[in-house]
Amino acid sequence: MAVIVNQKIEYRKILIAAPEVQAIPVFDCNEPLVEMKECYLTQATKAALRISKSTLVRETVREKLQEAQQLLPKGLQIRLYEGYRSLEQQEIEFCEKLAIVQKDNPELSPEEAFIETTKLVSPIHNLDGSTNIPPHSTGAAVDIEIIDNQGTLLDFGMEIENWAVVTPSLCETGCKEISSEAQTNRDLLFQVMTRVGFVNYYTEWWHFSYGDKYWAFQLRQKNAIYGCYN
């Protein structure tokens, strides 16, 4: 299994719905979902938040995002693209991406297409029919980027909203097919987020989580602290 070394922690390159991840037990701490809209100070970020799909996250996740914000250079801010996602919405997004994968790769078997889709979207049911817990449906995961004080998005080599249609390799955190500026910006986002306790999903430079099964697996925790939030 390949690893990504960050400071003293080795992040294992493993898919988000892998059996090893799903085997992690959950002991939900029952934290509430809270709004992100009012925790930023500048109008630029507040305006950016209004286009977000969801601004709900777990309470500690919000606190951690505020900590990460403080680590950014002056004039830069975290922008939340999406936080909590209902199971219904998660299923819609998985099925939409699966349809794209099958159309673009007709040679793949149903199982292969399913696994390929899980690189970018977590299913709500595994291939064997067992229940899966998608990180976004726990309130633990956030899709984020960085903007300047004018609300202009930094160059990350692509925009999050295009994740379903671009080449999957372009979405990877360590993508080598982007400019040095975009690589630097991805590295900056990775560093400030992991320093405060988040883990990154290596197939999505924008996806970070705290407290879910993927977080527990990567940081060698005995259990996740957030389960599905209904």
Active site residue 10: no
Three-state SS at 225? coil
Report the distance separating Cα 14 and Cα 202, nearest Å. 8
136: annotated binding-site residue? yes
Cα(85)–Cα(62) distance, rounded to whole angstroms? 15
Question: 207 among the known binding-site residues?
Answer: yes
**DSSP of 25-56:** -B----PPEEESTTS--SHHHHHHHTT-S--E
Angstrom distance (rounded) from CA 101 to CA 114: 9
Is the Cβ–Cβ distance between 201 and 183 less than 8 Å?
Answer: no
Determine the Cα–Cα distance for residues 58 and 139; give it in Å rounded to an integer. Answer: 5
Query: Which active-site residues does the annotation give?
Result: 204
- Residue numbers in the known binding site for Zn(2+) are 136, 143, 207
